Structure 1
Amino acid sequence: MSDAPDTPEMPKEARAAEAAAIRRRWISLGEMLAVLAVGISALTLYLNWSDKQDERAYKASQSRSASARAAKLVLNAKADGDDRLLLTPAAPDQIVQSQTIIFPGALGVAPVSTTGQPRIEAGWFESALKRAREKAKLPDNSVGDEKLPVVITTRFVVNGEAREDNAVYDIGYGIAGRWLAGHDVTLRGLSLVTRDVGKVPVARIDARWSAVVAIRK
């Protein structure tokens, strides 16, 4: 008899090798999926952290912007008759405590202070304004609104914090002559000019008054 190869054992070995290879492939795929899962998890954590950082930065920026806005005061004026302007902050959360109003040196009027009721009254400067206009040879009757520059220092409270604002404003007014009765000054409104009052506020508004006079002549 001739020796024949034991062929039935070969397929078994091949199958075993193939099974081992398959197991290795599954292990490698599992390891790859595990690494991928770890990477996705790390990326998700980073994106969440980044989003929170961005949100915190945005909220901080918004808070700084709100604080900066709160620190800036803009006054609105409402006429109360012809001889008084009632002043209120444009921002509703700002509460005015007191004010000091400085007039141009040409008027020769001392600064006026108010407490608790922010306002501008024509009686504080009307006579002096008429004399200053006469001295400057300005027209007896206004065409449109005239401008009287003033510095207003306002002490106010916002979010429980006391603050102070210094700014140059123009008081808008009209002047009209009446036969045998002199001239009447009518207050129109208030307009913010600049917050740059300089080291000598009077000098700032004196220069503006001179410019106004030069234009109106």
Structure 2
Amino acid sequence: MSDLAPESKESRAQEAAAIRRRWITLGEVLAVIAVLISAITLYLNWADRRDERTVEATRSREKSARAATLLLNAATASDDRLTLKPAGPDQIVQSQSIRFPTALGIAPVDTTGDPRIEGEWFSEALKKAREKAKLPDDSVGDERLPVAIATRFIVDGDAHEEVALYDVGYGITGRLLGGHHLTLRGLSRVSAIKAADAQAALDARWGKLTR
């Protein structure tokens, strides 16, 4: 067998070198692709964590806002007493100040640790105010007495205060010899109000209900 011609050897050497260069180039390309994939994976993981943190922060703010919003429910303890309780299970009432319409001519009532509304606080004043407003002696359905309730309460160790306008539902019946009897029915929230505007809002509500 004859030896390969010098040109043939040189041609094969050049071809082998070209193949090696192609493999090196392909390896570089694959390395770049791997780096890109790694970078994209890291970015997606970071973006997911950022989204999770954003969602958690939003949920935390929403939870805090809900906790700071108080809704009082009332249960009838007797004809002349309503027991008040926050709708939120984590809300603990510390004290309350209950204001009445100016037309009743009575001072606010403060309670501590026992949220409630008692008919004896305002029953006589309400009867006189109803007479002055020429309202009927007997209620056909539930009558409404607006009150402004400032409640100081705690949620998860944080203190909050809310002032809101409520309607106290009541019934009144006339008795020929015994006078009138007042029965408390329940409590209905009207709206949240600013402390500085409480009395004005209360009086406006009374005026609307007694027209």
If the length of structure 2 is used for normalisation, what is the TM-score? 0.93
Instruction: Judge conservation of contact 1:197–1:204 (CA < 8 Å) in 2.
Output: no
- Return the alpha-carbon distance in structure 2 between the equivalents of residues 185 and 154 of structure 1: 25
- Return the alpha-carbon distance in structure 2 between the equivalents of residues 178 and 160 of structure 1: 50
Q: Which runs of 5+ in 2 are unaligned?
A: none
Q: Paired residue for 2:208?
A: 211
In structure 2, give the amino acid aligned to 1:212.
L
- Return the alpha-carbon distance in structure 1 between the equivalents of residues 24 and 141 of structure 2: 90
- Please give the secondary structure, in 2, of the residue aligned with 1:139: coil
Q: Paired residue for 2:74?
A: 77
Matched, 1:155 2:152: yes
- Return the alpha-carbon distance in structure 2 between the equivalents of residues 204 and 24 of structure 1: 86
Higher mean C-alpha deviation, range 98-107 or range 158-167 = 158-167
- Please give the secondary structure, in 1, of the residue aligned with 2:127: helix
Q: Which runs of 5+ in 1 are unaligned?
A: 1-5
- Return the alpha-carbon distance in structure 2 between the equivalents of residues 30 and 39 of structure 1: 14
Please show how residues 27-176 of structure 1 align to structure 2 within 5 Å.
Answer: 27-176=24-173
Instruction: Judge conservation of contact 1:88–1:118 (CA < 8 Å) in 2.
Output: yes
Identity of aligned residues (%): 64
Deviations 1:37-57 (A, max 9, x none): 001111111111111111111
Deviations 1:42-101 (A, max 9, x none): 111111111111111111111111111111111111111211110011111111111110
In structure 1, give the amino acid aligned to 2:46.
W
- Cα distance, 1:7 vs. partner? 6.3
Q: Paired residue for 2:22?
A: 25
Matched, 1:15 2:8: no
Please, which of 177, 182, 185 is the counterpart of residue 185 of structure 1? 182
Instruction: Judge conservation of contact 1:151–1:197 (CA < 8 Å) in 2.
Output: no
Q: What number of residue pairs does the alignment pair up?
A: 209
* Distance change in 2, residues 1:113/1:204 (3 Å): same
In structure 1, give the amino acid aligned to 2:82.
L
If the length of structure 1 is used for normalisation, what is the TM-score? 0.91
- Cα distance, 1:148 vs. partner? 0.6
CA RMSD of aligned residues (A): 1.5
